[in-house]
Structure 1
Amino acid sequence: MTDPVSIPVSRRRLLTSAAVGAGAAVIGFPALAQGFDPYTGAPLQGAPAAGATPDAGVVQVDPNADSRHNISSWRAHADWRPYFSNLTNGAILVDITSRALTFWSEDESVVKVYPTSVPVSSDLTRRGRTEIIKKVEGPTWAPTPEMKKRNPEWPDFVPAGPDNPLGTHALWLSWQYYRIHGTHDTRKIGRKSSNGCVGLYNEHIKELFGLTTIGTQVLLI
């Protein structure tokens, strides 16, 4: 799995590091985890690739494709000042175009860059300022009342573990249903493969989880 990179970092090194992880092995999911979007409750359209997580949407994965194109637009943001007025509680910048998440600690002693998954389409993409309001290790998932009404056959609760679409850790944002979370489906990283949330490798979300606090600033651009 890739290691997050620290600023300053060369473009060549960043692309090489991310490309290694994009070809990592995939953990399979049961049929339940392939039929619906965990954030909106809408049935997935098209035929998700085997092992795809719920928020993989209509993205199809070609296992023979060169994964390097996934991160071809990466751009490291070395300076936080164009985006934040201060670093109180730390700051996270998610660049949808470059598919990268940059974290700065409050004292600027820690700067990390992680490859991410991004939404599959513009209508699912939300940009703007929010913040972390909740941190959960071993997140669980439960359908909303609306989801349950439309799909009574769904379970009332999906426990933490390999069947959970939120991976090993999740950071709740102030926007309802939006998360920065892990994923067990490593093919998603570096791709347009989510229905709104930002996904990281489980190793990376674990590290980011430890670096952030309630109130950490988040900006999606």
Structure 2
Amino acid sequence: MRLRLREFRPRSGPYTHRIVQPRHPLRHTSLRAPDPIGLLVGDHDGLSRLAGLFSFAACSRHTIVHVPLRDGVPPDEGVGEPVDLVLAHHGLGLRPSQWPDLRRRLRQGTPLTVRTDEARTGREAAARRERRDRAGCRDELRHATHARTFFLFGSRGVFAEAATGFAYAASRGPYQKGVGDGRMAYLGSFLPLVDPPGGGHPVEVMIGFKPYPPYAHFRPPGVPASRPRPPAGVP
């Protein structure tokens, strides 16, 4: 997939951070942070681009991926305040408390175009699925919510596996029952998130597909936008 991004290089003390955003907003995609259940809803374009952004994050250990989602079309589903999304590798050392200052510095970015490698992402996702079933596996997807932003901290394999989940949701969502009438279809969830201490309901972010209106114009991929006219003389 080709991703059109915008790259920023803000400084924070002695450090320079590399931050990328989608060049164009995911207008029909929204995210509500888990408390303990969250919800991410997107159309085909939004879920597809999220798959690409997670794939890019998987192979970019020194890059912070920022996906602004608060200013899109207000969603009908879910409860709670809409939040943005930030992806960062564990080893980058990003602290959520740093983010408001970094976000204020995202003023003039440089256009950037990258290509993701879906075959490589698939191999890394499969390898991670094999590892996670082993005893003592600590390859986890940590999370935090701060300053109207949902942070995900993971490894190459974790982000790659999440990318394949979004790709699946984007490909199967348009074929779910009722979506042509404007209903949302659930298509699984993020990978298991690390639960806070003390027990309680597991933390989870569900993924939903919903096309954007007008729904009368929606067609699943491969279905013609209009039916062909019958030959002359055919009732």
Q: Report if TM-score (shorter chain) is over 0.5.
A: no
TM-score (norm 2): 0.25
Greater strand proportion: 2
